Structure 1
Amino acid sequence: MLALAALAGVGLPLGLAPFDFSWLALAGITVLAWLISRPQSAGFSFLLTFCYGLGLYGAGVYWVFVSIHTYGNAPVPLALFMTALFVAFMAFMFALPFFLARRYLFDASAMLWAFPALWLFNELYRSWIFTGFPWLLSGYSQMDTWLVGWAPVAGVFGLGFICALSASALVYLRSPGPWRYLPIAACACLWLLGKPLQTIEWTQPVGSPKQVALVQPNIPQQHKWDLSWRQPTYQRLETLSRDHWDADWLIWPEAALPTLLSDAQPFLAEQAEQAAATRTSLVTGIIADLARRYHNSLVVLGQGSGIYHKQRLVPFGEYVPMQDQLRGLIEFFDLPMSVLHRGPSGQSPLWLADTPVWPAVCYEIVYPDLIAEGSRGANAILTVSNDAWFGASTAPVQHLQMARMRAIETGRPVIRATNDGLTALIDDRGRITAQGERFTQLTLRGQTQPMAGQTPFMITGSLPWWLLSIVWAGAIRLRQVRAQNQA
């Protein structure tokens, strides 16, 4: 049983990019629903869900090893240990809600119909606790199925809930009696309704399409902060931009300039002058040093204005928890960008000429509520990243997939500029209209159409799903208590 649970956990990562076996993700969730609804102790239920988590995160975030070993210079045994520790911790966090529910709320007979609420709560709280790790959410596995029509209404969490509800309905088919077909019929209606939902125009074009040029410099990560590479990096950015100053928007990726904002002023002044002369909006990533605090930032030069400081930082990559105890132990805890500070909430969009654009630096694009809230006052979404940290793993491909989901949830085009791929232009329906090759120096040209209006998910965010998970579980608990009192 434990091996089966671990194998089922592997199904979800295989349902995500680049594999996209959506049916396999649903099958794995169904197996878990069946396993935890069997008569067993709370302790064994914990073991089952923990093993599922091991399969889920072992197959889904193995790329952490690349960051720790290849770019953090940790020896292979230590990198393997740290990766295994991270996987085990995430598996524990996955199993915890199921254990607590089985121990204190539900008996085995109630777990099947509590499963959708528990699954939903599990994905929500893992995206929030300790700043959240909203990776490997089940809704992404349905990006290219009819179910994605629900994304502008319910977001990625809603898609995950429908998957879990369908899993419970499939397991319920094993029950005796004619009523066993009713839940699966209701779920089938939800899936079928996704198709007409895809035809609804939740947002509308505003203004004219913008010509966009995205620079992908492909700077090797091991040389990113090498002083000897500073001038070659400047030259590469200038060379790749030289023939594209006629674009409305020219975008350089996250931390494109390997220096501080204060030190880069002479170079930035030259680029601002060029951008102003061609009426171009130039956006670049840079480390901003303000009042003795360092931020992973975006600045607008030329035709436009604004500066944005990243709000959601990556633990160990951009800041070190318990830094007084950890710094100096191994080189991984002393990475060049691990001294950053969190940007304030309530920041304004960037203005590229007359168009407000909501920025998301790297990891921020994976937070549905952050993007939905920020993009209410914007007509497009700009995300920049440096996925060189993850090498040739599946992480950058999944990162792009999540950016596509943000486009669908908000009805906004997403512009994605990266250091070494995958640079892309995504329309308001989540379709990739232009994409650059990985590990290549290039400038990707295309056009994007700003959009106005709001999708239902932009208005509500994930709050209804928090409430639904609590109310659903509470109703099942109340029904169980009444049944016990009548017995």
Structure 2
Amino acid sequence: MSTVYRPWMGYLAALVAGGLTTLTFSPFQLWWLGPVAVALVFAGFHAQTPGQAALRGWSFGVGLFGSGTSWIYVSIHDYGYTGVPLAVFLTALFAVTLALFYAVPFWFYRRFTGARLAWLSFAGLWVLAEVLRTYLFTGFPWLLLGSAHVDSPLAPLAPLGGVYLLSLVTALSGTLLVELLRRRWWPLAPLAALWLVPPTLPGHWTTPGETTRVALLQGNLPQLMKWTAEGQRNAANTYARLTRSLGDDVDLIVWPETALPMFERQALPLLERLQTTLPTDTALLTGIVERDEQGDYYNAVIGLGNTQGRYRKEHLVPFGEFMPLEWLLRGIIAFFDLPMSSFSAGAHDQPPIRAAGLSIGTAICYEIIYPDLVASRARQAEALLTVSNDTWFGGSIGPLQHLQMARLRALENGRYVMRATSNGVTAIIDPRGRVTHRAPQFETSQVVGEVRAMQGETPFTRTGSWPTWLLAGLMLVPGLRLRQTRRR
């Protein structure tokens, strides 16, 4: 056997490939490393046993999540009241556990597929593994391979098939790259087509309508004192002051997720006083904690002034907004007793909010990373809104990755995205995924700009991801073995 196929070299290459994949995302944005990372995992893959393939997949996952989600440490240590050794352990445990989403599919792939058309079937497997990670155990579609390509030549594919189509083309490019190095010529034409055709596709799938002038406010308030009495006073004073300073030429004002750290009923006196100072046609949307008559509370967006409707967050964050195995974990360490970690989920079929005449589909914080959830909001809306509290990530790469995924949701659906956050990155994103206005991180700031009501739907908005999932499944089929041959 050639030394290139020695198992330990494959594990090392996969570990390096995971780290390289992190470099494809913000803030590094070296998207061209995506196919290289896939090629490092794929090379020599079919010379390994199922167990070795699983270990290679796990190694890739450790490299990816160990580097790409290192911001988890900030949340656990800086804001979760956890010491350094335990925070390091929990962060590492998070990474090695998520890595199983590559280990298990890779084991099944080597167990039930052969080398026939492996370049095709492996790319299909890659996307199906990402789909599994998106939905299993509430899902974690962070760092999907295609998320890196909002600025690459592949970007025009996003309105056609969304992030999974971008992942599929990236993975296929990596496997074709390996075949090109092996066989020299035949993969050159399909590889070139994958990258040269997308820039020729239509750039606009939706058409602009009326303009709404919006202001997104960023309070930049300390997270650790947010829920104290002093923190509540500071939040109320800061956002009221920023709102009053805007003048009369703004149609819609947006405050971020839980901008006022109190229940809606506690905040109503302040909000009602503030409403009297707003022009008659001005709308204000704010993130708030809503508590109903049954005692359940929701992470919500409510409106003042020229608004209709409200939104309750549907997809909650494990450990942050609800506690899996609560009976077992509560009280073990301070991180498992964070305030506001027992939310209820909102309904799936909530209508859009209408504010200042604009129909708005809403995604709170973590929800913006779920492509099909956002597409379902976009079908009924003229623009998209995401409010977030990225203070939990500190000065890490987390907020920049989060912004990149919000940009991809804008591109997929041909809609403006308004992104209001507590300390950054607050931004207005156009239907091509470009940031038109942006506030600096870690500063009290306002972002004022224009948003157009977009009409029509992209192919992705209309169908969601299932056509790409089906294509990935069909690509896997040719490599399947109906009968297992005995291995020596």
Fold in common (TM above 0.5):
yes
Q: What one-letter code is carried by the residue in structure 1 that aligns with 2:239?
A: L
Q: Is the 8 A contact 1:224 1:258 kept in 2?
A: yes
Deviation at 1:36, TM superposition (A): 1.8
Q: What one-letter code is carried by the residue in structure 2 that aligns with 1:116?
A: A
Q: What one-letter code is carried by the residue in structure 2 that aligns with 1:142?
A: H
1:302 aligned to 2:305?
yes
Q: State the partner residue of 1:224.
A: 226
TM-superposition CA deviations, 1:200-242 (whole Å, max 9, x none):
32000122x1111111000111011112221121011111111
Q: Is the 8 A contact 1:36 1:111 kept in 2?
A: no
Q: What one-letter code is carried by the residue in structure 1 that aligns with 2:477?
A: G
Q: Is the 8 A contact 1:34 1:112 kept in 2?
A: no
Q: State the partner residue of 2:289.
A: 287
Aligned with residue 185 of structure 2, among 181, 185, 193 = 181
Q: Is the 8 A contact 1:35 1:48 kept in 2?
A: no
RMSD: 1.6
Q: How does 1:306-455 map to 2 (within 5 A)?
A: 306-455=309-458
SS at 2:159 equivalent: helix
Comparing 458-467 with 422-431, greater Cα deviation is found at 458-467
| Separation (CA, whole Å) in 2 of partners of 1:140 and 1:325 | 35
1:238 aligned to 2:240?
yes
Q: What one-letter code is carried by the residue in structure 1 that aligns with 2:38?
A: I
Q: How does 1:6-85 map to 2 (within 5 A)?
A: 6-37=15-46, 39-85=47-93
Q: State the partner residue of 2:106.
A: 98
Aligned with residue 165 of structure 2, among 119, 144, 158 = 158
Q: Is the 8 A contact 1:67 1:390 kept in 2?
A: yes
Q: State the partner residue of 1:149.
A: 156
Q: What one-letter code is carried by the residue in structure 2 that aligns with 1:61?
A: T
Structure 1 residue ranges without an equivalent (≥5): none
SS at 2:185 equivalent: helix
Q: What one-letter code is carried by the residue in structure 1 that aligns with 2:209?
A: V
Aligned with residue 465 of structure 1, among 465, 468, 483 = 468
Q: What one-letter code is carried by the residue in structure 2 that aligns with 1:181?
A: W
SS at 1:263 equivalent: helix
| Separation (CA, whole Å) in 2 of partners of 1:189 and 1:93 | 30
1:195 aligned to 2:194?
no
Deviation at 1:111, TM superposition (A): 4.0
| Separation (CA, whole Å) in 1 of partners of 2:170 and 2:390 | 29
Comparing 24-33 with 409-418, greater Cα deviation is found at 24-33
| Separation (CA, whole Å) in 2 of partners of 1:183 and 1:395 | 36
Q: What one-letter code is carried by the residue in structure 1 that aligns with 2:143?
A: L
SS at 2:290 equivalent: strand
| Separation (CA, whole Å) in 2 of partners of 1:295 and 1:36 | 47
Deviation at 1:110, TM superposition (A): 5.4
TM-superposition CA deviations, 1:82-137 (whole Å, max 9, x none):
1111101001122111111212x113555443211110101111111111101011
Comparing 280-289 with 445-454, greater Cα deviation is found at 445-454
Structure 2 residue ranges without an equivalent (≥5): 1-8
Q: 1:35 to 1:64 in 2, by over 3 A?
A: farther
Q: Is the 8 A contact 1:74 1:332 kept in 2?
A: yes
Q: State the partner residue of 2:94.
A: 86
Q: State the partner residue of 2:6.
A: none
Deviation at 1:252, TM superposition (A): 0.3
Deviation at 1:373, TM superposition (A): 1.1
TM-superposition CA deviations, 1:225-268 (whole Å, max 9, x none):
11222112101111111121521010000000110012212112
Q: Is the 8 A contact 1:299 1:306 kept in 2?
A: yes
| Separation (CA, whole Å) in 2 of partners of 1:483 and 1:419 | 56
1:263 aligned to 2:293?
no
SS at 2:227 equivalent: coil
Deviation at 1:274, TM superposition (A): 2.9
1:167 aligned to 2:174?
yes
Q: Is the 8 A contact 1:203 1:455 kept in 2?
A: yes
Q: What one-letter code is carried by the residue in structure 1 that aligns with 2:152?
A: T
Deviation at 1:371, TM superposition (A): 0.6
